[in-house]
């Protein structure tokens, strides 16, 4: 983590990311859930997908999370934390397995969106969102293609300065010489040549 980032809570992908399937992001975004419920989902993602198994290097899909940890994360008491998590299990968003007395529960995300409680998510709305995302991607590609078409590479352009620099120098030198004789046109100097180069150094696209 770059020096100072942790102290000022500055988020930077360099410090680590949690890969989440786009469909999960879209589903949770439109799901009829409370803020605490969505917070619990985000935390489960962080505690699972945000870590890799030290043996096989793959992302972790389940994690033992004690009630005291849920209570701390959700900033509520044990009773309310238990209720929030139980609702997510009942809505079939969380999968929970009891490990035995004193061992707690192991949690994982249910990635089969169609099996979620139909009362909390409209599948037609989700499909529309998915289609919109695909259309947006397609339109972006078309937009980039149009930009490239209307803006040819610099190799297909010409620079006017390259065609008349020699004659420009010759004319300016004549003016300098003339100015030295009759006291006029002293504005033309070698500096003027450089300024003209800068102003003329603009490409003109070929038709």
Residue that wins the pLDDT comparison between 68 and 145: 68
- Mean pLDDT along residues 14-22: 93
For 84-111, the pLDDT digits (tens) are 999 999 999 999 999 999 899 999 999 9
- What distance in Å separates the CA atoms of residue 187 and residue 22, rounded to the nearest whole number? 65
Q: What is the pLDDT of residues 152-175, one digit of tens each?
A: 665 544 444 444 555 555 554 555
Cβ neighbours of residue 125 closer than 8 Å, sequence gap 6 or more: 30
Domain extent listing, the chain:
5-120, 155-205
Other beta carbons within 10 angstroms of residue 135's beta carbon come to: 10
Residue 196 pLDDT exceeds 60: no
Q: How confident is the model at residue 28 (pLDDT cuts 50, 70, 90)?
A: very high
Beta bridge partners of 64: 106
Domain covering 5-120: architecture: Orthogonal Bundle (1.10)
Q: Which uninterrupted H or E stretch holds 82?
A: helix 78-90
Q: How far is it, in rounded angstroms, from Cα 93 to Cα 95? A: 7
User: Cβ neighbours of residue 51 under 8 Å, at least 6 residues apart?
Assistant: 59, 60, 63
C-alpha 118/C-alpha 71 separation (Å) is 27
């Amino acid at each position: 983590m770059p020096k100072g980032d942790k102290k000022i809570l500055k988020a930077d992908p360099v410090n680590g990311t949690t890969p989440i399937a786009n469909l999960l992001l879209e589903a949770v975004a439109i799901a009829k859930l409370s803020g605490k419920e969505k917070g619990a989902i985000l935390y489960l993602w962080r505690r699972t997908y945000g870590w890799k198994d030290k043996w096989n290097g793959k992302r972790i899909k389940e994690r033992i999370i004690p009630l005291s940890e849920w209570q701390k994360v959700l900033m509520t008491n044990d009773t309310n934390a238990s209720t929030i998590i139980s609702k997510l299990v009942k809505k079939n968003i969380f999968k929970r397995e009891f490990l035995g007395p004193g061992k707690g529960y192991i949690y994982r995300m249910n990635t089969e969106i169609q099996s979620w409680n139909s009362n909390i998510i409209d599948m037609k709305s989700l499909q529309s969102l998915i289609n919109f995302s695909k259309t947006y991607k397609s339109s972006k590609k078309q937009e980039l293609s149009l930009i490239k078409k209307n803006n040819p590479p610099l190799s297909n352009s010409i620079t006017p300065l390259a065609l008349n620099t020699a004659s420009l120098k010759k004319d300016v030198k004549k003016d300098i010489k003339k100015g030295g004789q009759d006291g006029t046109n002293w504005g033309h100097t070698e500096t003027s040549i450089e300024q003209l180069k800068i102003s003329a150094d603009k490409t003109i696209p070929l038709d």
